[in-house]
Amino acid sequence: MLFLNGIRYIDLEQLHNKEKQLNTQKDKLETDKEKLLATLNEDTKSLRDRRQELEPKLADLKSVVLETQSAFQLAESKLKVYKKNEDEERRKFETLSHAYETVKKTIMEYSSSIKTLESKIPLTTKSLKEAMQQLEHAQANQRDLETEKRQKWTNLENCRSSMQASRSRGRVLDSLMQQKLEGNCPGLFGRLGDLGAIDKKYDVAISTACGPLDNIVVDTVNTAQWCIEFLKAHNLGRATFIALDKQERFREAANSKINTPENVFRLYDLVKVNDERVKTAFYFGLRDTLVANDLDQASRVAYGAQRFRVVTLQGSLIEMSGVMSGGGNRVSRGRMGQSVTVNDINPEDVKRMESDLETLEERIRENNKQYYQLEKQSSKHQEPILQRELETQKKRADSIRANPEQVKKLENIIQEKKLAFEDASSNASIYQKEVDNISEEINERMTGRVKAIDKNIADVSNSLNKIKAEITRINVAVKTSER
């Protein structure tokens, strides 16, 4: 046995022999297929001849079907055009009849429900124009009242929400806010986190980076001292205060913009406030802290040419010193809301707003009564007008009637064309079914046996391709070994 670098040449020779055998087998199968096709063509010749005989007749019948269908549709179109004017006037009459019946029904419905209101709301009897003007005025008034109601309802709900939030702030803050309501501590603003708002996206970032959010903001050091003494005197606990008079040194920085790496946001710039005086308190708590999308961006921004304090949206914090914190399973959130909390809501004001809202709803109900009464009156004015239009339209519809004899003649033509179309369609379907049956029988005879031999040819071709690939691989290996 001959080897070259581990390759047996006898294996290559066997592969070439196998390749020749498969080529011979494939040639034989293709020859067998040609013979089979010839035999099958002979077996199905009578069927194909019959189909070839039927196909011209079927084509002629299909042509007749199209012609009779076109004639039938043309006859229908002629009748439709002839009756067009009559049908249009009849439709107008039916529309007016429907409108008239609706008005009569409306009058009947309103008459029974408005009798109790006639003593309060005067009826207009002057003219339809005057009634319509009053109706439009009532509609506009109703829209204005509804808008005012929505606004008052929104304000009331906001106040109720703020009062509810106040009840959950804790004993220390609640006690101090009560003193503010009673006029004893006017310089008290409230908890820092309640005095600002931020988009929900930055909730974790602001809750993590702004430590003083729970501190209480006051106007001066003296106010802070008063609060501390009050808490001590009543044994209410301790609190940390931010005196705004001591934060004025940050006013210029708080109102200035800065250039940031990668144009990231300064967290302070994202805080919204209702009272410009408290901006310095937020700057005191945040300074120029930046907010980054993730820790990778935070690292780039924090350690650039200029050092920055950076917090990520996920709550990781990098201090100016380089100390990094965060990344645990629990993050700080919810220390600032998406709207500024109103701290000085007086319960008496809420009661007054509730009373105003009830008064407004009563006005809306009264306006509704007037609106329905005016609508009834308007309907009464419309009834005789619609009745006159209805009578006029009925006369017009009766005068534009198609000639019954001509209509009958056109209908007979339509029926004749329709019968011809249906007869042609029936004949064509008979021939079509026979042609389809013949084609199906030819396919059944041809497909099964040809499919089997095609599978054998495909199997041999696949084996042949594998042999050729193996021969190529070995030849490449031999040349590589020789090199």
Q: What is the pLDDT of residues 435-479, one digit of tens each?
A: 788 777 777 766 767 777 788 888 888 988 988 888 888 888 888
pLDDT score for 343: 56
Residues 309-342: pLDDT tens digits? 999 999 999 998 888 887 666 788 889 988 776 5
Whole-angstrom Cα distance, residue 450 to residue 457?
11
More confident residue, 103 or 24: 24
| Res. 376 pLDDT band, cuts 50 70 90 | low
Query: What pLDDT shows up at residue 457?
Result: 84
Sign of the four-CA dihedral 53, 57, 58, 59: positive
Taking residues 278-296, report their average pLDDT. 95
Run of H or E residues at 160: helix 128-167
Going along 182-289, which residue ranges are E strands? 188-191, 196-197, 216-218, 241-243, 265-266, 272-273
Q: Which residue segments constitute the domains of the chain, with CATH numbers given?
A: 3-83+402-482 (1.10.287), 169-345 (1.20.1060.20)
Q: Is the confidence at residue 157, as pLDDT, over 70?
A: no
Q: What is the pTM of this model?
A: 0.42
**109-144 pLDDT tens trace:** 444 444 444 444 444 344 555 656 666 666 676 677
Q: Which residue has the higher pLDDT, 404 or 219?
A: 219
Strands 196-197 and 324-325 turn out to be unpaired
Express as a percent the part of the chain with pLDDT over 70.
67
Q: How far apart are CA 2 and CA 478, in angstroms?
A: 13
Q: Which whole number is the average pLDDT over 251-269?
A: 94
Angle between helices 404-482 and 9-43 (to 10 degrees): 160
Across residues 81-101, what is the average pLDDT?
60
Q: Mean pLDDT in the chain?
A: 77
